[in-house]
Structure 1
Amino acid sequence: MARSALTRDEVLDAAAALVREHGPAALTMRRLAAELGTAVTSIYWHVGNRESLLDALVERTVADLGTLRPHGADPAERIVSVAVLLRRALRERPHLVAMVHERGLTERMFLPAQRALVHEAHAAGLRGARAAELVRAVQFQVVGHVLVERNRERSPAQSPAETELWAAQTTAGTDGPEDPALARALAAPVDTEQLFPVAVRALVTGLLRNGTERIRP
């Protein structure tokens, strides 16, 4: 029996879940109706045709990335928190973000995060080009890191893998590495959840220090 109390938000939630898990090609009105236990005509009534539904999902994705809220005791910590939240949002919505990009709304999607970064740059004493430099650097760091992660996940299996190559360097002998602890660390799997904030924190610390030193009289 078709459900009767369906809402537009429920339709968008189900559609977003399909896209997140399977990509836009998997989103058909018939499949969406089956997921919701309703008639296809009910889907059309709530969101219009498939293109209108995709447009609504794009708008929702843009709005979602506008809800990032910085946290931390000082501007540096809050800037890092924006980067961490932005990376997480992009990682959780790869297909939806791709749809935003295809519709030419990428800059609009990033604007709220940029504004949050500008606010913290000003709080740290940066103005003008120095503040803009920080905003751009952090944004590029986030996007670049996400692209590298995605590439590593989708690339074919490497043989030998990085872990195997570096594991071989830990063996004792005259040809062993000058820094065996380094080789052991590089032989371990990459912990991107730990690596990302470390990299962003180093970037932000350097930019804030250099920026404030440059503007001192």
Structure 2
Amino acid sequence: MTRGALTREEILDAAAGLVRQHGPGALSMRRLAAGLGTAVTSIYWHVGNREQLLDALVERTVREMGAVRPAGRTPAERIVSVARGLRRELRARPHLIAMVHERGLTERMFLPAQQALVHEVHAAGLRGARAAEAVRAVQFQIVGFVLVERNRERAPAQAPAEGEVWDPAAVPGDPALSRALSRPADPERLFLLSVRALVGSLLAPDAPRGHP
């Protein structure tokens, strides 16, 4: 591949792939050039040095996270769709998200999703502090859930394992509960359950406001 055939976006795609798979520490200009079949000087010519490359990756990640769009017929459905999309995007690029955070751009990254949520809570009739609390509650639920998921995935093997802890005889009168808890959790199902319950509560006409 010659320099003339190589584009900046191709370099960023390849760099993002390395970071997603192996983390920022694995990203070197030499390794990137080798993967693209070009000279290191060509990488510098298109994106500058390594720090400039990382900055470009962060900026692109911020833009990509802003592409989450609501879908659905009702405000509640659209809020849930934003939550699902944001969770999916956060899970798809943990190392890149960490880089965004380290560069102090987390709030800007979340702004488009917040704006989409504001539009939907307004459509549901919420205003003022109650609307702001609803937006933040949904955002915290998404981020908190993703952090728990990541922690569970990185946790060492447990002994006894999740499926070995619960004995059907441990809860008299409800052996089905013990059997269900002995099976692995379904994160997607739990996420939808929790977000739908939260959104339903937040959008209810008589929903109480939180207090410090």
**TM-score, normalised with respect to structure 2:** 0.95
C-alpha distance in 2 between matches for 1:176 and 1:192: 24
Q: Which residue of 1 aligns with 2:201?
A: 206
Q: CA deviation at 1:214?
A: 6.0
Contact 1:121 1:131 in 2 (8 A): yes
Instruction: Report the aligned-residue RMSD.
Output: 1.4
**Which among 183, 186, 189 is matched to residue 178 of structure 2?**
183
Equivalent in the alignment of 1:193? 188
Determine whether 1:12 maps to 2:12. Answer: yes
State the partner residue of 1:157: 157
C-alpha distance in 2 between matches for 1:177 and 1:60: 54
Structure-1 separation of matches of 2:171 and 2:157:
26
Contact 1:177 1:183 in 2 (8 A): no
Which secondary structure does the structure 2 equivalent of 1:213 belong to?
Answer: coil
Post-superposition offset of 1:213: 2.4
Unaligned runs of 5+ in 2: none
* 1:70 alignment partner AA: P
For residues 23-34 of structure 1, the aligned pairs below 5 Å read 23-34=23-34
Alpha-carbon distance between aligned partners in 2 of 1:178 and 1:90, rounded to the nearest angstrom? 40
Q: How does 1:65-214 map to 2 (within 5 A)?
A: 65-166=65-166, 169-171=167-169, 177-209=172-204, 212-213=205-206
Contact kept, 8 Å, 1:3 with 1:37, in 2: the verdict is no
Kindly provide the amino acid, as one letter, of the partner of residue 140 in structure 1.
Answer: F
Q: Which runs of 4+ in 1 moved over 2 A?
A: 1-4, 175-178, 212-215
Cα deviation digits, residues 163-198 of structure 1 (max 9, x gap): 1101xx115xxx653311111111111110111111
Look up the equivalent residue of 1:72 and give its one-letter code: G
Q: Partner residue of 1:21? A: 21
Paired residue type of 2:138: V
C-alpha distance in structure 2 between counterparts of 1:194 and 1:18, whole Å = 30
* Amino acid in the other structure paired with 1:157: A
Q: Percent identity at matched positions? A: 74
CA contact (8 A) 2:171 2:178 kept: no
Runs of 5+ consecutive residues of structure 1 not aligned to the other structure? none
Cα distance change, pair 7–126 in 1 and its aligned pair in 2 (3 A): same
| Aligned equivalents of 2:176, 2:207: Cα separation in 1 | 37
Whole-Å separation in 2 of the counterparts to 1:121 and 1:33: 47
TM-score (norm 1): 0.93
**Partner of residue 39, structure 1:** 39
- SS at 1:38 equivalent: coil
User: Secondary structure in 2 aligned to 1:144?
Assistant: helix
Q: Secondary structure at the match of 2:198?
A: helix
User: What is the CA deviation profile of residues 6-48 of structure 1, one whole-angstrom value per residue up to 9, with x for unaligned ones?
Assistant: 0000000000000001000000000000110000000000000
SS of residue in 1 equivalent to 2:206? helix
